[in-house]
Structure 1
């Protein structure tokens, strides 16, 4: 099994070159290039981009008669169907990513044969199936409101960008199971908050038919969060114990290395 946190030739810190570090810190102020001004020009440029930019995207107009009627009625009653559809698109995109995250974690778990946690392949496959089913639940909800689940809403676009880093962590062949679980934990925390907001929006817009399925999904996501948090803690503590044993081995082999 790959060592979780190996000691190695990491040269990123100043302590790796104390002579150069001392010389750099002792350099007189006259030798240090000075840049006049501050970051106000950068802030001004960013501000102009913000004020002149277009939105990330838009929620598409209904493409069916049923969708047009549903949206029209909602607008007449003061609701904001576009907001609910946007957030449904967000959850749809995130559940798709969640499914792929667990696909990647399953591959890593099987390959590394990691035994640092109580996590099992059956556990991971169960959660992966839950994520795929939640994706289907959201897709059906969008269709029930007359929306198009294949469209990319602004918030769907947003979470797609946000979750790219999480996917890169889990699919990186260098990361350990513990490091991958950290990325999964971030995803599960975000997922829980997303479902809570979706239920609140459905309640606010009198979409009671959606709340039952959403509540079931939220309960399952809360279980996922508890499990992943427990596995991550086990993996981290196991890593600490392993590193402690490594230090003991070094001490037994050569006590002078610890002084």
Structure 2
């Protein structure tokens, strides 16, 4: 794992080659004068959306408790499968969170000589990773308590898995610096906090007060994770800035 961003021969910006950029921009006039396609990109995407099937479906309850609960909520004008869908989403995200921290721990174990910010250590990161495992277990228990199947890939779980692929890819980028890896963790924790808040609200609406209380404990954990990761990122960036600053003794 790289320890910091370094200055180098980055020529991706347009200002690095004025002559070539001028030639490239001259082609804009040709594009503006060219005929437009019969169907634009926005219309094409809209046609795909109109023809697309839903992202999966929720299975019917597979236990007597689930059937009774679903019928009872339906009589009240509420649909329990919405909560089960979001529980499946959270379970998928927490499982991905475990993998994300596993990948980060691998990076730390390989960087034995790197200076870590603040109180960061393999032990402190491992503790956060273990919390993610506990949260996944909590969600599995909640799904089963409501008569659902915790192994189901729910529609929202499918969507969050696709969204989380970018985080996993970024964490496993071999060229990433410590600060960049922490940025990935902070992004994941920000989503985690907001999603647990939403889940608590949904559980409360469906009178699942016991689950809401247990979810509130998980939310407290996630807020602490976010605070700690953000603190580590701030310190890592401060260290990078200090390393780039000139030594006053050399002035």
Which runs of no fewer than 5 residues in structure 2 stay unpaired? none
Measure the CA separation in 1 of the matches of 2:44 and 2:105: 45
Q: Deviations over 1:199-242 (max 9, x none)?
A: 00010000112112101000010000000111111111111111
TM-fit CA distance, 1:38: 7.9
Which runs of no fewer than 5 residues in structure 1 stay unpaired? none
Measure the CA separation in 2 of the matches of 1:182 and 1:160: 19
Aligned to 2:63: 64
Aligned to 1:112: 111
Aligned to 1:219: 220
Q: Residues 30 and 172 (structure 1 numbering): CA distance in 2 closer, same or farther, change over 3 Å? A: closer
Q: Using the TM superposition, name which of 159-168 and 234-243 deviates more.
A: 234-243
Aligned to 2:51: 52
Aligned to 1:101: 100
TM-fit CA distance, 1:76: 1.4
Give the SS at the match of 2:85. helix
Aligned to 2:17: 17
TM-fit CA distance, 1:116: 4.1
Q: Is the 8 A contact 2:2 2:176 kept in 1?
A: no
Aligned to 1:122: 123
Under a length normalisation based on structure 2, what TM-score does the superposition of the two structures give? 0.91
Measure the CA separation in 2 of the matches of 1:91 and 1:186: 16
Q: Using the TM superposition, name which of 118-127 and 136-145 deviates more.
A: 118-127
TM-fit CA distance, 1:3: 4.0
Q: Residues 244 and 80 (structure 1 numbering): CA distance in 2 closer, same or farther, change over 3 Å? A: same
Aligned to 1:182: 183
Q: Residues 178 and 58 (structure 1 numbering): CA distance in 2 closer, same or farther, change over 3 Å? A: same
TM-fit CA distance, 1:15: 2.9
TM-fit CA distance, 1:64: 1.8
Give the SS at the match of 1:163. helix
Q: Is the 8 A contact 1:89 1:156 kept in 2?
A: yes
Count matched residues: 248
TM-fit CA distance, 1:32: 6.2
The Cα RMSD (Å) is: 2.3
Under a length normalisation based on structure 1, what TM-score does the superposition of the two structures give? 0.88
TM-fit CA distance, 1:185: 0.4
Measure the CA separation in 2 of the matches of 1:234 and 1:28: 45
Aligned to 1:6: 6
Q: Residues 103 and 218 (structure 1 numbering): CA distance in 2 closer, same or farther, change over 3 Å? A: same
Q: Residues 30 and 224 (structure 1 numbering): CA distance in 2 closer, same or farther, change over 3 Å? A: closer
Q: Residues 237 and 38 (structure 1 numbering): CA distance in 2 closer, same or farther, change over 3 Å? A: farther
Measure the CA separation in 2 of the matches of 1:8 and 1:72: 64
Q: Is the 8 A contact 2:57 2:154 kept in 1?
A: yes
